[in-house]
Amino acid sequence: KPAAATARNSYYITTAIAYPNGTPHIGHAYEAIATDALARFQRLDGKDVFFLTGTDEHGLKMIQTAQNEGMSPADLATRNASRFKEMDERLNVSFDRFIRTSEPAHHRSVQTVWNRMQQAGDIYIDAYSGWYSVRDEAYYAEDETTLGEDNVRRGPQGTPVEWVEEKSYFFKLSAYQDKLLALYNDQPDFIGPDSRRNEVMSFVKGGLKDLSISRTTFDWGVKVPNDPEHVMYVWVDALTNYITGVGFPDESAENWHYWPADVHIIGKDIIRFHAVYWPAFLMSAGIPVQKRVYAHGFLFNRGEKMSKSVGNVVDPFNLADQYGVDQMRYFFLREVPFGQDGSYNHEAIVARINADLANDLGNLAQRSLSMIAKQYGGVLPEPGAFSDNDQAILTQADGMIGLARTAMGTQQIHHWLNAVWAVVAEANRYFAGEAPWALAKTDPARQRTVLYVTAEVVRQIAILAQPAMPEASAKLLDILGIPDGNTSRDFAALGARITSGTVLPAPAPVFPRYIEPTDA
Ligand code: ME8
């Protein structure tokens, strides 16, 4: 493979790797769905996409949960990792590789990074004393913590911290302050959204302390080369998954050309690790830094933080069973501006399903295609000359891909769907205004044109909706007679019009209304 040619057209995207100390929750599902929509979008746009996801299996949090459950961390990780993978499969998440940090290949990769950082003179041994949050797996400076009225000291994310004092290896993070600031300045889109970029820049400008990167009080982790008393700090290990996933340390590996990643999709709580520590580790190890980090917001159930004690932790499998996978995917992607926090509740989900999907898109497709079935024996009619109204709706439809590309290039997922649903709304106005059902007797030629234009607009909508709703969009394309398995569902096919004379299959409804279950 000519590496340079492939590299230009490649697109490498990742999710954070989740801690499998529990089963996946809706925040994990949200990140997987959003990253999948971005990956599918680029694939349909002709990119050679590599999509990595997985689980982050080491660290104290895993050890503590395993102890509470009376099992080994390895067994806990294996049990829950498979649940994460099942969730991805259930939600139609099209990952190319699911990585587990307990894989031997990953240990080798992390040890290679360590050795290179050491050779660069960036690692030294000393004693650590300071605050550590097991829940965040993060070290915090004293002034980042506060002592609560309950006499519990907490870090900036509100999780309890404990005092740690032990022998530890350190990474010379302080030596990277200027290099990191230069990176943020030279590559203004290194961190998105802007609010996170500002947050990171002021953190780095505030001064960076060297980072403790090993522990000696437990052994569930990647061993430090030549000093097996130490295991590495879980974040050194976790972040390295992004390069292990494409073959590191074997730089002749088939997938290595995907590196540097185009974007790491993560939640806002872990921006510091991805935008400060990770590029510093990479620079030290002499590996190119990722191109971008994008932090999404947090999801809240009815505006409340999910917690086991409140009892509002929603299982993504249940949500998929209740509403449908495509419906659930569409809801989160459309409802929550990507990058901001979002709230969800039953009424809001039902409203989107019934209004946007069943009424607006479903009925439009159903009404126009059943008219073609009844009056033209299912043969897509040939249009006459286009009127101004026809031209206007076609032009708006043709404009979708440009808006969508711009939006998705910067992870503005909701802008892409807004652009598509603006056309859905306009197509409904067009269809109601042209009233093709009344034209059968008065002006059949005009009816044929209106039905053709509507089918063409629905085709474009269905093609562009695929990254959000892969299955429903495929059904919609099926009933429009667009073949699967060739390139006619790719974005490149948007440029040509739907072919009249095609025999369409019977128009089965694609978007059922959500009906409240009754107790009767
Ligand atoms: O942080 N809403 O794992 P994790 C939206 N292992 N996103 C949420 C969320 C919520 N309520 N709760 C969590 C870790 N997330 C590390 C990552 S990457 C090298 C290592 C997001 O299981 C969170 O922000 O705690 C993160 O991006 C992902 O879920 C995994 O969280």
Per-residue tens of pLDDT for the chain, all 520 residues? 445 545 469 999 999 999 999 999 999 999 999 999 999 999 999 999 999 999 999 999 999 999 999 999 999 999 999 999 999 999 999 999 999 999 999 999 999 999 999 999 999 999 999 999 999 999 999 999 999 999 999 999 999 999 999 999 999 999 999 999 999 999 999 999 999 999 999 999 999 999 999 999 999 999 999 999 999 999 999 999 999 999 999 999 999 999 999 999 999 999 999 999 999 999 999 999 999 999 999 998 876 666 666 666 689 999 999 999 999 999 999 999 999 999 999 999 999 999 999 999 999 999 999 999 999 999 999 999 999 999 999 999 999 999 999 999 999 999 999 999 999 999 999 999 999 999 999 999 999 999 999 999 999 999 999 999 999 999 999 999 999 989 999 999 999 999 999 999 999 999 999 999 887 5
Rounded Cα distance, 135 and 21, in Å = 11
Rounded Cα distance, 116 and 316, in Å = 40
Query: Which H helix or E strand runs over 11?
Result: strand 10-14
pLDDT at 363: 97
Residues near ligand 1 (Cβ within 6 A): 16-19, 27-28, 30-31, 56, 238-239, 241, 266-267, 269-270, 298-299, 306
- Cα–ligand 1 centroid distance for 317 (angstroms): 18
Cα separations in angstroms, 102 against 168, 220, 421, 460? 22, 10, 43, 44
In the 8-state DSSP scheme, what is residue 224?
P
Residue 100's φ and ψ, nearest 5 degrees, are: -120, 130
167 within 8 A of 212, measured Cβ to Cβ: no
Angle at 232 between CA 226 and CA 234, to 5 degrees: 160
**Which among 254, 264, 316, 320 is positioned nearest to 291, based on CA atoms?**
264
Rounded Cα distance, 212 and 511, in Å = 53
Rounded Cα distance, 358 and 352, in Å = 9
Give the three-class secondary structure for 50.
Answer: strand
Task: Among 266, 307, 333, 411, name the best residue to mutate to test ligand 1's pocket (greatest count of ligand atoms within 8 A of Cβ).
Answer: 266
Atom of ligand 1 nearest to the CA of 300: 11
Ligand 1, atom 18, residue with closest C-alpha: 16
What is the full DSSP assignment across 349-367? HHHHIIIIIIIIIIIHHHH
pLDDT at 5: 46
pLDDT at 1: 45
Cα separations in angstroms, 49 against 35, 36, 322? 12, 11, 31
In the 8-state DSSP scheme, what is residue 71?
S
| 183-184-189-190 Cα dihedral, nearest 10 degrees | 60
The pTM of the full predicted model, rounded to 2 decimals, is 0.96
- Cα–ligand 1 centroid distance for 264 (angstroms): 12
Task: Among 87, 243, 269, 300, name the best residue to mutate to test ligand 1's pocket (greatest count of ligand atoms within 8 A of Cβ).
Answer: 269
Rounded Cα distance, 400 and 437, in Å = 27
**Angle at which helices 73-90 and 60-68 pack, to 10 degrees?**
100
| Contact partners, residue 255, CB within 8 Å, separation at least 6 | 50, 245, 246, 247
pLDDT at 310: 65
In single-letter form, the type of residue at position 267 comes to G
Ligand 1, atom 30, residue with closest C-alpha: 18
